[in-house]
Amino acid sequence: MSKASSKVAVVMPSVAEDKIITARAKSDPDALPLSAKQLSEMAPLKKVIGRPKSDRKKVLLSVRYSPEVIAFFKSTGEGWQSRMDGVLREYVQKRSGTGG
């Protein structure tokens, strides 16, 4: 037996319904349609939300660490992966003589 889709179907209004909706929106001073300038300045939501792009790109990699190492860094709380990266970068700087 197949599962019913959990997605809600979006039903677009007919042309007549759209005209009624637009007329009612125009008559409400708190719900006026956006101007052409406002529409041109809008950005897709995907571009607005989320973490900003970093100048320092990181490489996605699968690696295995001992359970004790992971337990230690996880015990330091949120951001443990960044702290772990910092410790490794510090090690690299000391070993490569680039200072820090």
pLDDT value for 1: 53
pLDDT digits (tens, 9 = 90+) for 6-55: 788 889 999 999 999 988 888 888 877 788 999 888 888 777 677 777 88
pLDDT value for 37: 93
Distance in angstroms (rounded) separating the CA atoms of residues 47 and 49: 6
Residue 1, in any domain of the structure: no
The boundaries of the domain holding residue 90 are: 15-96
Residue 9, in any domain of the structure: no
Total domains in the fold of the chain? 1
Distance in angstroms (rounded) separating the CA atoms of residues 97 and 49: 39
Residue 4, in any domain of the structure: no
The CA distances from residue 96 to 17, 57, 99, in Å, are: 69, 20, 8
pLDDT value for 4: 66
Residue 63, in any domain of the structure: yes
pLDDT digits (tens, 9 = 90+) for 57-95: 888 899 999 999 999 999 999 999 999 999 999 999 999
